[in-house]
Amino acid sequence: MKTYRVVIAGATGAVGAEMITTLEQRNFPVASLRLLASTRSVGKKLKFKGTELVVEELTHAAFQNTDIVLSSTSGTLSKEFSPSAVKAGAIVVDNTSAYRMDPQVPLVVPEVNPQDVATHHGIIANPNCSTIIALVPLWPLHKAFGITRFIACTYQAVSGAGAWGIYELEQQTREVLAGKPATKQKFPHPIAFNVFSHNSKIGANGYNEEETKMLNETRKIFHDAHIMISATCVRVPVFRAHSEALHVEFSQAVTPAQVRATLRHAPGVQLVENEAANHFPMPLEAAGQGDVLVGRIRQDTAFTHGIALFVSGDQLLKGAALNAVQIAELLVGKQP
């Protein structure tokens, strides 16, 4: 089997760490693995397949002799360094928002539009985590019944903001339980025992950036400029795994039984429905899983041809690292 020289940019972040683990767990054909990060992380040691790898500095010259770059830096750094990786002959799978809406860059969820990988010019974009988690179950339903619109209400874990989000929730929880005020550091409001609108910039239309991403990215991935989407994205005091309530309108009458039958064998989907035990998708159970958990499937009473469902997915895995590695697998022709 041919092997590949892989670089992870942003290797010391929450997603970077998951990329290292995912490459190992999925037995990606790695000839060599190099880890890049900012100067403050240079010299740190991380393990891959039992071997300690030393983190190197992210520089423009760091991509020589590289085949694939898995990038999970900031959008600004990706814009700065990804062109250097492409110039050096590598293909970049970028986990930032820097290139997602660039018409020259494919935006890929392997269960949805794997064919788009072939259109790349050196960079392939990894979609936003909330978009991925919604589209893995929605795509097979769209193919079967035709989705005309959907409403998404998200419940997003703090780890979606990075490792600091986990720290802030843990620290504030300890403070509140000790009778102290919660110390805000990066989130705009206390996150312990609280929920608030997603901490991204509000646009002129009243939607925040996370909500706008779900609209624009879905249209690009589905190759459907007319599908109507309204999202409300909320940050909740959960460490890991996002959840979403999805209310979907179809172009034809659809029953919950038809939806279950369609999703039962859909790639990347796991049905979790036990009405007697009131057991449905939960972030606690989605954490650490590659599949998106789907349940609460029922007729939507607000749409003529509507179905309501609830999903949970690990945004560090399927919403980020796993999706990126799956894209890399498409590039190298590795079978799932």
Residue 245: pLDDT over 80? yes
pTM summary value: 0.95
- Please tell me the predicted confidence (pLDDT) of residue 1: 79
Q: Find the mean pLDDT for residues 87-104.
A: 96
Q: Find the mean pLDDT for residues 89-93.
A: 98
The percentage of residues in the chain with a pLDDT greater than 70, rounded to a whole number, is 99
Q: Find the mean pLDDT for residues 43-56.
A: 96
The fourth-level CATH superfamily of domain 4-127+320-332 is: NAD(P)-binding Rossmann-like Domain (3.40.50.720)
Q: Exposed (0-12), middle (13-18) or buried (19+): which is 80, by Cβ within 10 Å? A: middle
Residue type (1 letter), 17: A
Say which of 129, 142, 233, 247 is annotated catalytic: 129
Torsion from C-alpha of 115, 293, 149, 99, nearest 10 degrees: -50
Residue 336: pLDDT over 90? no
Residue 335: pLDDT over 70? no
- Please tell me the predicted confidence (pLDDT) of residue 101: 96
Active site residue 233: no
Q: What is the pLDDT of residues 306-330, one digit of tens each?
A: 999 999 999 999 999 999 999 999 9
C-alpha dist (Å) from residue 119 to 107, 113, 123, 124: 10, 11, 10, 9
Q: What is the pLDDT of residues 179-205, one digit of tens each?
A: 999 999 999 999 999 999 999 999 999
Give the relative orientation of helices 129-145 and 256-263 as an angle to the nearest 10 degrees.
110
Q: What is the mean pLDDT of the chain?
A: 96
Element (H, E) at 242: strand 242-250
What residues does each domain of the chain span? 4-127+320-332, 131-315
Which residue(s) pair with 30 in the sheet?
Answer: 4
What value does the CA radius of gyration of the chain take, rounded to a whole number of Å?
20
Which architecture, in CATH terms, is 131-315? 2-Layer Sandwich (3.30)
Reading the block at residue 17, the tokens are 């760490």
Say which of 120, 142, 242, 247 is annotated catalytic: 242
Q: Find the mean pLDDT for residues 134-150.
A: 98
- Residue 80: band (very low, low, confident or very high) from pLDDT cuts 50, 70, 90: very high
Q: Find the mean pLDDT for residues 273-278.
A: 96
Active site residue 189: no
